[in-house]
Structure 1
Amino acid sequence: MTIAGIQPHQILTSLRQGNPQLLAISRDVYNCISKIRRDILAGRTAIQALLDELADGGFHYNAKNDEEGRLTHLFFAHPKSITLSKNYSNVFVMDCTYKTNKYKMPLLDIVGVTSFNSSFYSCFAFLQKEEREDYVWALTMFNDMLDNVSRPTVIVTDRELALMGAIKIVFPGAMNLLCVWHIEKNILSKCKCHFQDEDDWHRFFSTWSTLIESPTEMAYHKAWQDFNDEFEEKGIALNYIFNTWLSFKERFIKAWTEKYLHFGNRVTSRAEGAHSNLKIYLQLSTGDFYLVKNKICLAIENQFEEIKTKLSAEKIKVPSDLRISFFDKLINRISVFALKELFKQYNLATSNPNLTTCKSHFTATMGLPCAHKMRCLLDEGKVLHLGDVHSQWRIDDRMIGDIGIVKNNQDKMKEILGDFHKEYTKWPPSQQEVALNQLSHLVGTSTPMLREPSVQNPRGRPPTSKNKKSKSSTSREPSEFEIVEATRRCSTCNGVGHNRRTCPRKDVVTMSTSQISPLIPTGVSDEIDISDLYVYRNGANSFW
């Protein structure tokens, strides 16, 4: 149960359900877990055990260390992830996640897309920093894992300039799309503060969303000109958008992105979902790399079995509503997801007599025939063939079977060590290192002796003093747009950053014209514009 990642209190509950007379307490469970860990390590450090298991388990991995011998970078890919990555090598989503390990090192998570439009973990890399050199090293390892043959055609990221630069170096032929969702949230966090009226903001944001969806380059240029004309007075917001985002317009504006085979992936939500699922397995952010790697393996193995089961099921079972004669040559040969996408286009081709002009966007991005092509085939009395469908959606030629994982051979180490590890922990660190070096030669291992990484200073804002989360929590800190959206406005002036009690205009009284008129002497009201007056409170009942 410990190896399966079950928590100690749940282990104790399970044991008591099996044996109501059990006298064990939680401390006994913790002691057993500690003994299991000591037996697995067999006198090795956690880093040494990690590298041994990566080597013996068929992983593709690599590590870097600094001059002091401290681990600074670690890349690894599970054998099952390698199999999936080589089967589905067209599109990948890349993003870093945080609060996964006690060294506070960011974890680069690379996620792929299957025939069923589901996600899978491709590989992981712990990085010392998030600079271009760090990303180049990780992506080079990723490229080596793919055997330099199955190169991705599209990579989706957020606007991480260092990662974008590394992709250009390692995968020059791949198109690096930017996450539309992250762009919208960045604009929200940077531009909303320039709008006092909520309706004006919604109109601004809606116009921007329309601009992103421009179907052609001509439509984009017209939309941008109209956008500038309509919000000319919001110069700061427009300058931010132009300088920060529109220099990368080919990476997220639909007029350009619809030319690339991204299979509908224009956001990094796959990576966000993968991060969330991974942290369910991790549970704590204070584990070392050995513990984190084991938890990651649990997630990968469960995910792999689900994909393998779904692949087998769809080869023999397809929903009855998709079994039409036009798809006869595709049934049980492509995924149900692809069949459903084709069925939508089929309905358009058969029910809509006036199709719009074909822009080839659907075929270019999804690798599937569009309604226009289907209508031509139907008029000619033909049906769809496998050659009309991109290999991404094929399931008939996928061979994702059982992969034998070589278990780490600890017997040889245990025979040499005996009960050595019981005394080993009492020795000073320098003596431990000398002993481990000697033992590594005895067992014939070539794994380098590395030290634990130093704790990094994570990038970004430090945790706030209010509502501090547990130090072991894996929950991320709120993003800037979440802070902006959650900001409470002053009930007096509708401003942000203060409340009614501390409002700088708390002495300004908002009054209607009918309330102001009696305060103005007779004859004066004809000489001034009452709507331009500010009435200030002077004492409890008088005004001036």
Structure 2
Amino acid sequence: MDIQSQEESLEHKEMLPPPITHFQSREELIEHVSSFARSQGYIITIRRSKEEKKLVLKCDRGGVYQDTRKAITNQGKKKTCSRLTNCLFRIDGRRKSCGSWILMIKNLNHNHKALIDISGHPSSRRLSKEEVLRIKEMTTAGIQPHQMLTSLRRSNLQILAISRDVYNCTAKICKDILAGRTPIQALLDELADGGFYYSGEYDEGHLTHLFFAHPKSIALSRSYSNVFVMDCTYKTNKYKMPLLDVVGKEKTEDYVWALKMFHDMLDNVSKPIVIVTDRELALMRAIHVVFPRAMNLLCVWHIEKNILSKCKRHFQDGDIWDRFYSSWSTLIESPTEMAYHKAWQDFQDEFKDKVIALNYISSNWLPFKECFIKAWTEKYLHFGNRATSRVEGAHSMLKIYLQLSTGDFYLVKTKICLAIENQFEEIKTKLSAEKIKVPSDLRISFFDELINHVSIFALRELFKQYKLASSNPNLPTCKNHFTATMGLPCTHKMRSLLDEGKVLHLGDIHSQWRIDDRTFSDIGVVKNNKEKMKMILDDFQEEYTKWPSSQQEVALNQLSHLIGTSLPMLREPSIQNPRGRPPTSKNKNSMSSTTREPSEFEIVGARKCSTCNGIGHNRRTCPQNDMTRMRTP
């Protein structure tokens, strides 16, 4: 039967009531009636119910739409639709004294045609308990709603739910999780109960600073505490507050506060030797205050890209620019201070006509030469970390989990925890695998004591030095750079051991590279979070008394399940609108994505309009075309 004949058949079809029969339970009655009604082209819903006595069922199109809005005129009212036609169809179910249920037909009349497709009725798209449970599990795992729907459809081809139904279900799940609490309250509750190290600051009740560290992040940080890479990332939350990511506000005091929290989190186990950052002056000053003994290295990759964006514009000849850029890279790689001074003098002499570029380098970068020139950085144990690429990769991974930049702190924290937990398990698994795997090219007697005790990365670095020691009879003078920066024996040390017929020992390897005795089970993670929460809120209570009387009328929230006392309610930061077009603009670009804003060097490298050399349009859409048309008579 084709679709047209099927429609004609249903148009004249008499929508029969379900047969009168007995049922063992209320649920069985509802299931039978609903299934039969769908086969007849109509939907049944519950009108009233007394679970142990009576059940009143009606047609889904029964009743009359009632506008409950208070607008006086129709002007400005939102346009609405209704499926209700005051259908009188009604069935009753009654429970008999023996415990069974029986149907009773009250009204057989429908005032509408039979349905061809029942998916338009919300009740037909209702998710089962099993499907709701699956959605809850997938929500906890951070799976997106459209992917949830795909998964549900693959397991049940008859499901009629659409994406809006899944979104509504996830919203209800999140509401149930909050249990009447604000996202900030729920966040603090979970931080307290989950073993997190955390702290916060506030201004007139609004949260302004938040620091939290996952227990597994604390374990990793204390186990690998020699070098940390720090950087800020944006577009992670609807408050437009930056996230300082430590693999690890733009004011020094804000960075000082965050770093002090990080300092306290590390406890007295160990403190960092090297911290790698961008040229963020506020962060650099904060590091000097909180970690005065740590060496702050600058990211070489960002320095080179900034040179590209600021200096290339002053070179018309590509060959000259290539020589300039190559000479700058050579300057960064200067092995000694004397070599650096000579390289800088030669650099100035060769490009003395490029005054602007030289002034930019000398004023912006050379004052920090000790932070990125090899002649100085190779004196510190940085384990090869001279760029912030690791933390940039962490940002990218994190934003894959976040998906959108419009979430509140509770949602952001939940997604961050998912990322951390997955990453932690991968690290543990990789370390476990390296304890039993032996790379075939490293099966040499010189490394016998190190195999399965030292990371494969460190073994490969050692193997490079070993090949030089065993193949090159004329080694240059040892500058001790490799051992000083990597914590591993250099070529000269290996040559000496080979000449004496000895092998490498575990005592020659820095603890950073040891995997044999490294565990993350229990290293003193903070466990008195209840007391810490009480202390934070006590400080908040003292601040609260200083507010104007009008602001003291803010509703107090009972946190008795946490600390057993009534304390002021912490409010979320103000939601910040994105820059550019207003959020209500129809032609605005999407500002909810977590994709980062392009750096200046990326904008410089972007394609330009061939008419005006502008960025963001091409010759066809150039604004000058409109100006030309307006001037043309």
Matches within 5 A, 1:301-316: 301-316=421-436
Alignment-derived partner of residue 471 in structure 1: 591
CA-CA distance at 1:46 after TM superposition = 0.4
Alignment-derived partner of residue 492 in structure 2: 372
Q: Does residue 19 of the first structure (1) align with residue 159 of the second (2)?
A: no
Match among 354, 367, 383 for residue 247 of structure 1: 367
SS in structure 2 opposite 1:264? coil
The percentage of counterpart residues that share the same residue type is 78
Q: Does residue 55 of the first structure (1) align with residue 175 of the second (2)?
A: no
Could you list the per-position Cα deviations for residues 255-296 of structure 1 after superposition, in whole angstroms to 9, with x for gaps in the alignment?
110110001010110111110000000000000000000000
Counterpart residue identity of residue 486, structure 1: A
Give the distance between the partners of 1:21 and 1:131, measured in 2 at CA.
57
Give the distance between the partners of 1:449 and 1:72, measured in 2 at CA.
14
Alignment-derived partner of residue 166 in structure 1: 286
Counterpart residue identity of residue 105, structure 1: M
* Structure 2 unaligned spans of 5+: 1-137, 531-550, 625-633
How many positions carry a matched residue from both structures? 459
Distance 1:500 1:52, change over 3 A: closer
Match among 79, 96, 99 for residue 215 of structure 2: 79
Worse-matched range after superposition: 349-358 or 216-225: 349-358
Q: Does residue 98 of the first structure (1) align with residue 222 of the second (2)?
A: no
Counterpart residue identity of residue 59, structure 1: F
Alignment-derived partner of residue 331 in structure 2: 211
Match among 34, 37, 48 for residue 174 of structure 2: 37
Give the distance between the partners of 1:263 and 1:142, measured in 2 at CA.
21
Match among 253, 258, 269 for residue 133 of structure 1: 253
Matches within 5 A, 1:186-225: 186-225=306-345
Counterpart residue identity of residue 9, structure 1: H
Could you list the per-position Cα deviations for residues 205-247 of structure 1 after superposition, in whole angstroms to 9, with x for gaps in the alignment?
1111111111111110000000000011111110110011000
Distance 1:27 1:462, change over 3 A: closer
Counterpart residue identity of residue 386, structure 1: L
Could you list the per-position Cα deviations for residues 7-36 of structure 1 after superposition, in whole angstroms to 9, with x for gaps in the alignment?
111111111111112232222212211111
* Structure 1 unaligned spans of 5+: 112-121, 123-128, 410-429, 505-544
Matches within 5 A, 1:248-397: 248-397=368-517
Counterpart residue identity of residue 502, structure 2: K
Give the distance between the partners of 2:561 and 2:268, measured in 1 at CA.
37
Give the distance between the partners of 2:275 and 2:424, measured in 1 at CA.
22
Match among 129, 139, 144 for residue 2 of structure 1: 139
Match among 235, 239, 263 for residue 143 of structure 1: 263
Give the distance between the partners of 2:183 and 2:199, measured in 1 at CA.
16
Give the distance between the partners of 1:390 and 1:469, measured in 2 at CA.
51
Give the distance between the partners of 2:244 and 2:568, measured in 1 at CA.
23
Give the distance between the partners of 1:107 and 1:210, measured in 2 at CA.
34
Distance 1:261 1:247, change over 3 A: same
Could you list the per-position Cα deviations for residues 518-539 of structure 1 after superposition, in whole angstroms to 9, with x for gaps in the alignment?
xxxxxxxxxxxxxxxxxxxxxx
Give the distance between the partners of 1:496 and 1:452, measured in 2 at CA.
40
Could you list the per-position Cα deviations for residues 287-312 of structure 1 after superposition, in whole angstroms to 9, with x for gaps in the alignment?
00000000000000000001111111
**What's the C-alpha RMSD, in Å, of the aligned pairs?**
2.9
Distance 1:258 1:444, change over 3 A: closer
SS in structure 2 opposite 1:2? helix
Counterpart residue identity of residue 163, structure 1: L
Worse-matched range after superposition: 25-34 or 164-173: 25-34
CA-CA distance at 1:177 after TM superposition = 0.2
CA-CA distance at 1:48 after TM superposition = 0.1
Could you list the per-position Cα deviations for residues 483-532 of structure 1 after superposition, in whole angstroms to 9, with x for gaps in the alignment?
1112538699xx88899999x9xxxxxxxxxxxxxxxxxxxxxxxxxxxx
Give the distance between the partners of 2:611 and 2:240, measured in 1 at CA.
41
CA-CA distance at 1:320 after TM superposition = 2.0
Counterpart residue identity of residue 300, structure 1: I
Distance 1:81 1:322, change over 3 A: same
CA-CA distance at 1:138 after TM superposition = 0.2
Instruction: Provide runs of 4+ in structure 1 moved above 3 Å.
Output: 401-406, 430-434, 441-448, 455-458, 461-465, 487-492, 495-502
Distance 1:252 1:291, change over 3 A: same
Greater RCO (CA < 8 Å, at least 6 residues apart): 1
